[in-house]
Structure 1
Amino acid sequence: MIPSQKSALIVGASRGLGLGLVETFLARGWRVTATQRTPSPELGRLSAPALRIETADIDDDAGVAALHDRLADQRFDLIFVVAGVATQAQDPLHVVPRAVAAQVYLTNAVSPIRFAEAFLDRLAAGGSIAVMSSVLGSVGLNDTGGWETYRASKAALNTLARSFEIRHRAENLSVLILHPGWVRTEMGGAAADIDVATSVAGLADVITAQLGRPGAHYLDFRGEALTW
């Protein structure tokens, strides 16, 4: 490893934005560890000396602990939890089964913070913890409704990420809460505003500019602050 080479752990990199972030950081000279919940052909096709691929499910505490042990010798300038779900996102809350709504909350809000807590000792000095949020998680900007369980899960993620940073404020922790834009992925759909390449390039620029900045920062892929 080059002494000045930055290192990233991208959690949830099997496709879409996570995969795009892996490709972008590798192209920018970072060393990348990428996780997949199950084997991903797309991720598996990437071949680079600076890439390490691991398998773990953020909803599985034992699996996260095992990953933590496997990466015992690693320190990361960026730990970015990208993984998330949008199950029945377009259905109003009252028709979504309770178990489905609860799982969306656990995967999108609880598991990213539990992962961040578990891996905090793997964060290098001057590094950042990042979570993939959404503008839909903004309560103040919700003037259209829709995507109710997904919105609520991302609003909860924002709140929990902010509380996580406050809990560790004495350590000058940097927490980036990021909105990737409305992106043409399986989740975003074909009518979305931007493609994956635009989103991940912007996110990488924002991360680089904000790396290690203490506090909790809710930003979009252009670096603009969002209303909580």
Structure 2
Amino acid sequence: MLLIGGSRGLGSALAQEWVRRGRHVVATVRGSARTPLHDLADAHPGAIEIETVDVTEPEQIDALRDRLAGRRFGLLFVNAGVTSRSDVTVAQTPTDDFVRVFVTNALSPLRVIETLQDLIESEGTIGVMSSGQGSVTNNERGGHEVYRGSKAALNTFMRSYAARHAGEPRALVLMAPGWVRTELGGEGAKLTVDESIPNVVRTLESLSGAPGLHYVDYLGRTVPW
């Protein structure tokens, strides 16, 4: 399986869970600094390959595609993402912050998918880490406006991708992992990594062989658009 964004947090936890299940994982980091993923790879020799890609740089995505040419994966999961300030409105957000969040969370995952899709088995799974905050229906309290908007945009772009690939046997998954205690999620989050990630992996595996687009949470429940 191919995991984009595995350096730390939910990404390294996903890699660890798949290794625990006996899978071989190719996982990416953004730069040259040592990360928890490197520690995990050292602890499980041969189970994890580490590649480098900055998903906001299209030429780096192309280079990754070239390095992996000829290989096939049953699952591509795009986890890379960033957050934004929770206490400012869209109108108060500096333009460069807005662009950073939308490019990373909404544009870049689709670039990754479009570039790497031919590496995924015809009946494999393509998944993206979305969020329950990407649900327009469930947005009744506001807050995290730019982050919410970027995930709603990601969902819409994946729906367009699914429409363009209607009738194909791949499962396409928008995953809402729950509010998890990580550097991104913060200390006040409701779920631990151990409460979320094993269920995320279990849900992804349960959707294998189920064509079409699924917007689900970590327990496999459908999230309203």
TM-score, normalised relative to structure 2? 0.95
The structural deviation recorded for 1:73 is 2.7
Where in structure 2 are there 5+ consecutive unaligned residues? Answer: none
The 5-angstrom pairing of residues 164-203 of structure 1 reads: 164-203=161-200
Aligned-partner Cα distance in 1 for 2:188–2:24: 33
The 5-angstrom pairing of residues 56-205 of structure 1 reads: 56-205=53-202
The structural deviation recorded for 1:197 is 1.7
The structural deviation recorded for 1:179 is 0.3
The structural deviation recorded for 1:41 is 2.6
1:24 — aligned with what?
17
> Is residue 2:37 matched to residue 1:43?
yes
Aligned to 2:13, the other structure's residue is in SS state: helix
Aligned to 2:115, the other structure's residue is in SS state: helix
> Is residue 2:46 matched to residue 1:52?
no
The letter for the 2-side match of 1:105 is F
The letter for the 1-side match of 2:37 is L
Aligned to 2:223, the other structure's residue is in SS state: coil
Deviations 1:99-144 (A, max 9, x none): 2101211110011011001011000132110000001000001001
The letter for the 2-side match of 1:121 is D
Aligned to 1:84, the other structure's residue is in SS state: coil
When structure 1 is superposed on structure 2, of 31-40 and 57-66 the one drifting more is 31-40
Residue from 4, 8, 16 that aligns with 1:15: 8
The structural deviation recorded for 1:24 is 0.3
Aligned-partner Cα distance in 2 for 1:135–1:30: 27
Aligned to 2:167, the other structure's residue is in SS state: helix
Deviations 1:138-175 (A, max 9, x none): 00010011100000000000000111111111323321
Where in structure 1 are there 5+ consecutive unaligned residues? Answer: 1-7
- Residue identity over aligned pairs, in percent, reads 42
Aligned to 1:101, the other structure's residue is in SS state: helix
Aligned-partner Cα distance in 1 for 2:201–2:22: 12
Q: CA 1:164–1:66 in 2, change beyond 3 Å: closer, same or farther?
A: same
RMSD of Structure 2 on Structure 1 (CA): 1.1
The letter for the 1-side match of 2:35 is P
Matched residues, number: 221
Aligned to 1:94, the other structure's residue is in SS state: coil
Aligned to 1:171, the other structure's residue is in SS state: coil
TM-score, normalised relative to structure 1? 0.94
Aligned-partner Cα distance in 2 for 1:20–1:176: 18
CA contact (8 A) 2:215 2:222 kept: yes
CA contact (8 A) 1:165 1:174 kept: no
Find runs of 4+ consecutive structure 1 residues off by over 2 angstroms.
87-90, 170-173
CA contact (8 A) 1:175 1:217 kept: yes
Aligned-partner Cα distance in 2 for 1:43–1:83: 14
The structural deviation recorded for 1:209 is 0.3
